[in-house]
Amino acid sequence: MSKDAKPLNPTLEGRAIVLISGHSNESITTRFAQALGEYLVRINDTQEIHMSGRVILAIDFSHDPAHLPAIEADLTALARTAGLDVAVDEI
């Protein structure tokens, strides 16, 4: 492989956290995990709090940095259709 060639398996050098909040729904974790599953990611940790009909979900994941803008756009669109708030931050 030449020194300018890109590896066939991209490395998961980036790390981000997605924070989702809104009305509680049993399928929220599954829906966001499925959306992340469309990309080459590794989910490092998830935390979920359900209280008074509301949910706060945090997903810590490793990713290919080149894909983060697309991941963020997909998660934002999913949150919008589900009536949830979402933030994606690199950590």
Confidence of residue 47 (pLDDT cuts 50, 70, 90): very high
Looking at residue 26, its pLDDT comes to 76
Confidence of residue 89 (pLDDT cuts 50, 70, 90): very high
Q: 2 versus 25: which is more confidently predicted?
A: 25
Q: Which residue intervals of 1-90 are DSSP H helices?
A: 28-36, 68-82
Mean predicted confidence (pLDDT) in 4-13: 65
What single-letter amino acid sits at 72?
E
Quick count: other Cβ atoms within 10 Å of Cβ 42? 11
Confirm if 69 and 6 have CB atoms less than 8 A apart: no
Quick count: other Cβ atoms within 10 Å of Cβ 53? 9
Mean predicted confidence (pLDDT) in 40-61: 94
Confirm if 15 and 63 have CB atoms less than 8 A apart: yes
pTM as predicted: 0.83
Confirm if 39 and 67 have CB atoms less than 8 A apart: yes
- pLDDT at 1 > cutoff 50: no
